[in-house]
Amino acid sequence: MQQHLDALREELSRWLDQELPQAVLKVTDGLADQLMAELTHQAEKNLLPRLIARLDGTAHQPRARKDES
């Protein structure tokens, strides 16, 4: 009986060695995709309007010289 358990344990270990790296890679790739999508959404929602406003503001106002500020 112990030999059967050892054989099962060994086979499971081999299978995990083969399959686990790919499974982990798939999960982390999915997380990276979700993170990039969320960051892109947040940038479009929050950062982009501020950048556009900043560019519009500086395009209409002359830059102050260093000795005037």
Q: What is the 3-state secondary structure (H, E, C) of the chain?
A: CHHHHHHHHHHHHHHHHHHHHHHHHHHHHHHHHHHHHHHHHHHHHHHHHHHHHHHHHHHHCCCCCHHHC
The per-residue pLDDT of the chain, averaged, comes to 89
Section 20-48 average pLDDT: 96
What integer pLDDT is reported at residue 52 of this predicted model? Answer: 92
So where are the chain's domains?
22-56
pLDDT-based confidence at residue 48 (cuts at 50, 70, 90):
very high
pLDDT-based confidence at residue 38 (cuts at 50, 70, 90):
very high
pLDDT tens, residue by residue, 1-11? 999 999 999 99
